[in-house]
């Protein structure tokens, strides 16, 4: 089947190549070339990518890199770092790379007459560091004069997933005397549980919202504020010592009742899902300390520099990006599993789900035309080895081929018994089994009864990347996040889409607002304004609500 891809020289060459390649066999490829692994292993900053277990030849990679060149990844990369308004549908620059630029680097929004945004970034970072240090050192006092013990970040989507993921990833670096909690869902059980057992006199709420208009966040923050004021016998002035805001919307913050002295700002050129390294990372900075936070920023920067400077054929984000395009467009595979063999990265797949799917889940190109062929993959995953005891069955023997990124570190934080050897042995065993499988003859040779041979045969040829790093440190985490940010960018450029807007999340938000009004209306008349399914569901809920509230 000829894949449905654009008709350009590099695409056409790839389509032809895919057809010629036919049934690629990893066993044969490794047998034919003893240098395959070393030729297909590349370093970038502290990360090593082995992509030799992919369904590609050296020619495939050259053609894929030619595709990236044809799409002008390098030109788009320069435009992004140069502050051009590549987020054209929102007329915004995309400058999250400025958030980790050293103070002596100058970057600017191209529409803003060259004003250096890196100075603003460092001003905010310095203020964040001063406040985080006071909180960590017990010098920031609550309304009744006690130091802070619990920090509760209230935010959702891009204002939650990054800090949640990173606080878990860097658990080994967090302060023992501080408990960091996260509330995102408008399900009251989320806030209810986060507040369970906390001493409000020693609790700091951080309201993280770029727009400061998000329904869920304002509902949670409003309730937290009400609880705090009630705790202090109706004394509104308590809010100042117990609330910080992270936002681009100073007016919204003030209207909510948080003093803008307690606000840490960022800018419209930071997308929500690209904001972990902005003020949105405040809860993380308090947990790990300013020095570790700055080390994470330096890690981001190290990967930015690799992305900027390494030749495309040895550039990790480019290689991972084009491999994704190969599977999505040429081989018709629709998902990507991310499988960290690093338990602290448990939330990394969920973080990448937003980064990738919100960025590249698009069907209209920047020129307004529908895309030709597929765009962003469905991203999912869980840490190994846990996943091995669950969904790996499908990876090995299912009817769907799932390309996967395996991530491992050479050194654990807690070097307990032989745990790390077992963990890494499992990682290597899985990628080996996925690549090479087990033939029917091999199964027979083990003396397996004939009627079970097919059941015990593994087809192999299941493609994986292996990413290896020395140790999960703040610096390494920054590199890892930036690697995937730039991978997503490369793919967005090749697909000709805008990776930086998110109109797809709007419709549901608008409909939800209308439905809230209908659900809460005193009018006992049945709801008829929707389809019959939605009307009936709303009616059922309204009846239960009337009974619940009396």
Q: In which residue are the tokens 């408008």 written?
A: 186
Task: For the CB of residue 211, give the shortest distance to ligand G6Q in the complex, in Å.
Answer: 3
Q: Does 479 bind ligand G6Q (CB under 6 A)?
A: no
Q: Which of 35, 389, 418, 451 is catalytic?
A: 389
Tell the smallest beta-carbon distance from residue 362 to ligand G6Q (Å). Answer: 13
Nearer to ligand G6Q, 157 or 463 (CB): 157
Selected binder of ligand G6Q within 210, 328, 362, 462 (CB under 6 A): 210
Give the range of 41-49, 134-142, 208-216, 333-341 binding ligand G6Q by CB under 6 A: 208-216
Reading phi first (left if > 0) and then psi (alpha if -120 to 50, else beta), residue 492 is in: alpha
Chain centre to alpha carbon of residue 302: 18
Question: In terms of CB distance, is 273 or 306 closer to ligand G6Q?
Answer: 273
Sole window of 53-61, 209-217, 288-296, 318-326 interacting with ligand G6Q (rule: CB under 6 A) = 209-217
Tokens of 452: 């079970």
Binding mask 138-157 for ligand G6Q (x = CB under 6 A): ------------------xx
**158-178: buried (b, 16+ CB within 10 Å) or exposed (e) per residue?**
bbbbbbbbbbbbbbebbeeeb
List, in order, residues 6 or more apart from 308 with CB less than 8 Å away. Answer: 77, 81
Q: Could you tell me which stretch among 211-219, 420-428, 473-481, 521-529 binds ligand G6Q (CB under 6 A)? A: 211-219
3-state secondary structure of 112: coil
How far apart are CB 187 and ligand G6Q at their closest, in Å? Answer: 16
Q: Which is nearer to ligand G6Q, 106 or 213 (CB)?
A: 213
Catalytic residue among 432, 509, 513, 539: 509
Among 167, 180, 217, 262, binds ligand G6Q (CB under 6 A): 217
Which CB atom, from 211 or from 439, has the smaller least distance to ligand G6Q?
211
> Residue 345 is encoded by which pair of tokens?
């990265």
Instruction: Choose between 46 and 216: whose C-beta lies nearer to ligand G6Q.
Output: 216
Indicate whether 383 belongs to the interface with ligand G6Q (CB under 6 A). Answer: no
Of the candidates 6, 44, 142, 158, which one interacts with ligand G6Q according to CB under 6 A? 158
Burial class (CB in 10 A: 0-12, 13-18, 19+), 545: exposed
**CB-count burial class (<10 Å; 0-12, 13-18, 19+) for 188:** exposed
DSSP 237-270: GGHHHHEEEEES-HHHHHHHT--GGGEEE--TTS
Strands 179-183 and 150-154, by their bridges, are parallel
Instruction: Count CB atoms within 10 A of the CB of residue 514.
Output: 11
For ligand G6Q, the binding residue among 97, 180, 184, 214 (CB under 6 A) is 214
Q: Give the residue, chosen from 405, 502, 538, 542, that forms a contact with ligand G6Q under the rule CB under 6 A.
A: 502
What length is written for the chain? 550
**CA triple 445-448-454, angle to 5 deg:** 100
Task: Characterize the bridge pairing of strands 47-50 and 464-471.
Answer: antiparallel
Q: How far is the CB of 523 from ligand G6Q (least distance, A)?
A: 31
Q: How far is CA 43 from each of CA 100, 483, 495, 541, rounded to the nearest angstrom?
A: 21, 12, 26, 55
Phi, psi of 63 (to 5 degrees): -70, -35
Residue among 60, 150, 180, 209 that touches ligand G6Q (CB under 6 A): 209
Which residues in 270-309 contact ligand G6Q (CB under 6 A)? 271-273
Catalytic site residue from 216, 358, 374, 382: 358
Tokens 């963990």 correspond to: 423
**Where are any strands of DSSP class E within 472-515?**
none
E-strand spans in 195-296? 203-208, 243-247, 263-265
Query: Which CB, 217 or 461, lies closer to ligand G6Q?
Result: 217
- Tell me which residues in 77-136 interact with ligand G6Q (CB under 6 A): none
Strand arrangement of the beta sheet that strand 404-411 belongs to:
41-44, 47-50, 464-471, 404-411, 335-340, 378-380
Minimum CB distance to ligand G6Q, residue 97 (Å) = 16
Which CB sits closer to ligand G6Q, 157 or 376? 157
Phi, then psi, of 352 in degrees rounded to 5: -70, -30
Output the smallest distance, CB 119 to ligand G6Q, in A. 24
Residue with the two structure tokens 């709801």: 527
The reply to whether 420 belongs to the active site is no
106: DSSP letter: -
Q: What is the separation, in whole angstroms, between the first and last Cα of the chain? A: 62
State in angstroms the smallest separation of the CB of 152 from ligand G6Q. 16
Answer yes or no whether residue 159 interacts with ligand G6Q by CB under 6 A. yes
Binding segment (CB under 6 A) for ligand G6Q, from list 112-120, 138-146, 207-215, 333-341: 207-215
By CB under 6 A, which span of 116-124, 205-213, 333-341, 531-539 interacts with ligand G6Q?
A: 205-213
Hey, which residues between 335 and 364 contact ligand G6Q (CB under 6 A)?
Answer: 358
φ/ψ of 501, rounded to 5, equals -105, 180
Q: Is 389 among the residues known to form the active site?
A: yes
* Residue closer to ligand G6Q (CB basis): 410 or 516: 516
CB of 359 to ligand G6Q, least distance (A): 8
Count of residues that interact with ligand G6Q, criterion CB under 6 A: 14
Residue whose CB is less far from ligand G6Q, 211 or 534: 211
Are 286 and 135 within 8 A, CB to CB? yes
Q: Measured from the CB atom, is 247 or 430 closer to ligand G6Q?
A: 247
The catalytic residue positions are 358, 389, 509
Tell me which residues touch ligand G6Q (CB under 6 A). 156-159, 209-211, 214, 217, 271-273, 358, 502
């Amino acid at each position: 089947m000829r894949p449905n891809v654009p008709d350009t020289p590099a695409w056409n060459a790839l389509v032809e190549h895919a057809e010629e390649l036919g049934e690629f066999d990893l066993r044969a490829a490794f047998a034919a070339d003893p240098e395959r692994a070393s030729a297909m292993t590349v370093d970038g900053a502290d990360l090593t990518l082995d992509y030799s277990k992919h369904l590609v030849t050296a020619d495939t990679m050259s053609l894929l890199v030619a595709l990236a060149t044809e799409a002008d990844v390098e030109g788009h990369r320069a435009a992004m770092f140069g502050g051009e308004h590549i987020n054209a549908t929102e007329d915004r620059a995309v400058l999250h790379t400025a958030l980790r630029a050293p103070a002596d680097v100058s970057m600017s929004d191209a529409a803003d007459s060259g004003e250096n945004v890196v100075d603003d970034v460092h001003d905010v970072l310095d203020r964040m560091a001063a406040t985080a240090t006071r909180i960590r050192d017990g010098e920031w006092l609550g309304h009744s004069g006690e130091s802070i013990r619990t920090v509760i970040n209230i935010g959702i989507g891009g204002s939650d997933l990054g800090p949640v993921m990173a606080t878990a990833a860097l658990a080994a670096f967090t302060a023992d005397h501080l408990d960091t909690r996260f509330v995102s869902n408008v399900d009251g059980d989320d806030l209810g549980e986060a507040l369970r057992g906390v001493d409000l006199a020693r609790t700091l709420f951080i309201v993280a919202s770029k727009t400061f208009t998000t329904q869920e966040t304002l509902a949670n923050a409003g309730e937290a504020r009400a609880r705090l004021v009630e705790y202090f016998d109706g004394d509104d002035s308590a809010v100042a010592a117990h609330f910080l805001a992270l936002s681009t919307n100073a007016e919204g913050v003030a209207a909510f009742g948080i003093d803008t002295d307690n606000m840490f700002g960022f800018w419209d050129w930071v997308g929500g899902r690209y904001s972990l390294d902005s003020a949105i990372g405040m809860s993380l900075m308090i947990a790990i300390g300013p020095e570790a936070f700055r080390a994470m920023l330096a890690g981001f920067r190290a990967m930015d520099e690799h992305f900027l400077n390494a030749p495309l054929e040895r550039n990790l984000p480019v290689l991972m990006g084009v491999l994704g395009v190969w599977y999505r467009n040429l081989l018709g595979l629709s998902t990507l599993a991310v499988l960290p063999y690093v338990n602290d990265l448990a939330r990394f797949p969920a973080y990448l789900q937003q980064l990738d799917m919100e960025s590249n889940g698009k069907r209209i190109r920047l020129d307004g035309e529908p895309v030709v062929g597929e765009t962003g993959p469905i991203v999912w995953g869980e840490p190994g080895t846990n996943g091995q005891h669950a969904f790996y069955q499908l990876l090995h023997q299912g009817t769907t081929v799932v390309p996967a990124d395996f991530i491992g570190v050479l050194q654990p934080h807690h070097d307990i018994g032989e745990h790390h050897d077992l963990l890494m042995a499992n990682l290597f065993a899985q990628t080996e089994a996925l690549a090479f499988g087990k033939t029917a003859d091999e199964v027979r040779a083990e003396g397996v009864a004939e009627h079970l041979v097919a059941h015990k045969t593994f087809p192999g040829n299941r493609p994986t990347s292996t990413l290896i790093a020395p140790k999960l440190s703040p610096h390494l985490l920054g590199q890892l996040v930036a690697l995937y940010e730039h991978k997503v960018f490369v793919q967005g450029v090749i697909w000709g889409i805008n990776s930086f807007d998110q109109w797809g999340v709007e419709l549901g938000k608008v409909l939800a607002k209308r439905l809230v009004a209908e659900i809460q209306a005193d009018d006992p008349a049945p709801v008829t304004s929707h389809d019959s399914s939605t009307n009936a569901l709303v009616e059922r809920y309204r009846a239960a609500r009337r009974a619940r509230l009396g």
